[in-house]
Amino acid sequence: MNLGQFLRILRARLWLVCAVVVVVMAAAFAVSVVLPQKYSAETALVIDAKSADPIAGGMMPSQLMASHIATQVDIIGSERVALRVVELAGLERMPQFREQWQEATGGTGELRAWIGAVLRSRLEVKPARESNVIRVRYTASQPEFAAMIANTFAKAYMETALELRVEPARQYAQWFDERTQGLREELEAAQKRLSDYQQKHGIVSADGRLDVETARLAELSSQLVQVQGQRAESRSRYSQAGAAESLPEVTQNPLIANLKAELARREAEREQMLGRLGPNHPEVGKLAAVIASLLQRIGAETQRVAASLGSSSRMSAAREAEVAAAVQAQKARVLQLQQHRDQISVLQRDVEGAQKAYDQVAQRLSATSLESQAQQVNVAVLTPAATPMWPSGPRLLVMLALALVVGVVLGVGSALLIELIDRRVRGEDDLAGLPGVPVLGSVPGSRWGDRVSRARVSSRTAGVY
């Protein structure tokens, strides 16, 4: 079928198309008159998702903004919010809803769930483009009821959003509280182990005492080196006791020095007296006796000094042994203190670890406890729903325009269907597709003042149409 054939069919069955259009438009008009009027009330909510969290202090990344808005849209249209609207508006107590529920379900099921489903079916939630505003629209047969339900949906959503925020925080706070008690017990046990160990070994400050004992060990080690040096020197001098006159102790002894000076003076006097009086003179003999006495005293004093060197060597050895024993004892104390310090360090690390874990959990407990007591959400009513003055439906002009389109489509379809059932020849091209049917001629004519299809004479019919 080409365009010419299609237009000829429409022209021939124009009355049918017009009749179908008139019937459809009349039906649409009747439906518009019969259907009750609907009123739509709309409220606008703004989601302040970019502001910092007053408790956690964080901000939502811009990449998650779209998903956050979409989540809020789903929450508004959820069954939980609808059930809260039923509770807040007291719709269960309204007799008209109970009657409608009885008629629709026969009294089966839950009334609240049925009312919530009805409310959700008449609810429309749309996020604004490129903004954080969400528009909530509710449609009802009464304008006051539509405005009331729209505002109740906004209120129910804000309460639900607060619950969704507070409920996890309360659960976390309870868990953190239980965990805090366990960590507190672990911290107290670690502190008790540290305190018991310090009391058992009498340690107040392991680091300070270790420093003191280490300094004392260094001092004793220094004394030991000195004593060992003194002993080596005493031993060396004692080994030289055969040449006692050359010992520094002898040469530097003031008594021996005085005796030697007196001896030198007496020997000088004797030399003078020998030159004047001779060796047999009594004065010379007397002076010789004095010199002999001085020599004896010098020898005795020298032997005493040499003997004192041996005693000093023995005292140095004893002192060295005493200091060496003190050094070994001090080393043992330092090593013991080192072990105590290592053990105390382990216990202190246990205490610090338990304290750190306790502080972290206590901090989280404080934050979650504060969040569980929050009474504000990042949602605000931008524009509350007002009672609509004009109905939103049914729209007569829209329904008539739609009925016109539907009527035209149905009329054209009906004309084509009837034409397929009852085919007629309305032009030469209608016979062109028939095999073995030659066109002998055509007679022009008119119908309603217009040019109509040409009559054809075929070899089969031998007539004119």
| Interval 215-266: pLDDT, tens | 777 787 777 677 766 666 655 555 554 455 555 655 667 777 787 788 788 7
Between 170 and 35, the higher pLDDT residue:
170
Between 322 and 56, the higher pLDDT residue:
322
In 3D space, the residue among 197, 191, 194 whose CA is nearest the CA of residue 358 turns out to be: 191
What pLDDT is attached to residue 2? 72
Alpha helices in 202-253 (DSSP H): 206-239, 248-251
Residues 169-203: tens digit of each pLDDT:
788 888 888 888 888 888 888 888 888 877 887 66
pLDDT grade for 60, boundaries at 50, 70 and 90: low
Q: Over 80: is that where the pLDDT of 47 sits?
A: yes
Six-digit token string for 226: 């000195």
Report the alpha-carbon distance of residue 105 to residue 113 in Å, rounded: 12
Q: Over 70: is that where the pLDDT of 164 sits?
A: yes
Residues 304-337: tens digit of each pLDDT:
766 665 566 666 667 777 778 878 887 887 777 7
Report the alpha-carbon distance of residue 85 to residue 41 in Å, rounded: 15
Burial 91-101, CB ≥16 within 10 A → b, else e: beeeeebbeeb
Six-digit token string for 348: 């202190």
What pLDDT is attached to residue 455? 37
What pLDDT is attached to residue 242? 47
Instruction: Give the number of other Cβ atoms within 10 Å of residue 36's Cβ.
Output: 9
Q: Over 90: is that where the pLDDT of 465 sits?
A: no
Using the structure block, give the residue that is written with the tokens 């639900």. 160
What pLDDT is attached to residue 449? 37
CB neighbour list of residue 230: distance below 8 Å, 6 or more residues apart: 316, 319
Residue 311: strand, helix, or coil: helix
- Residue 393 carries which DSSP code? B
Report the alpha-carbon distance of residue 77 to residue 121 in Å, rounded: 9
Considering the entire predicted model, what is its pTM? 0.53
What pLDDT is attached to residue 326? 79
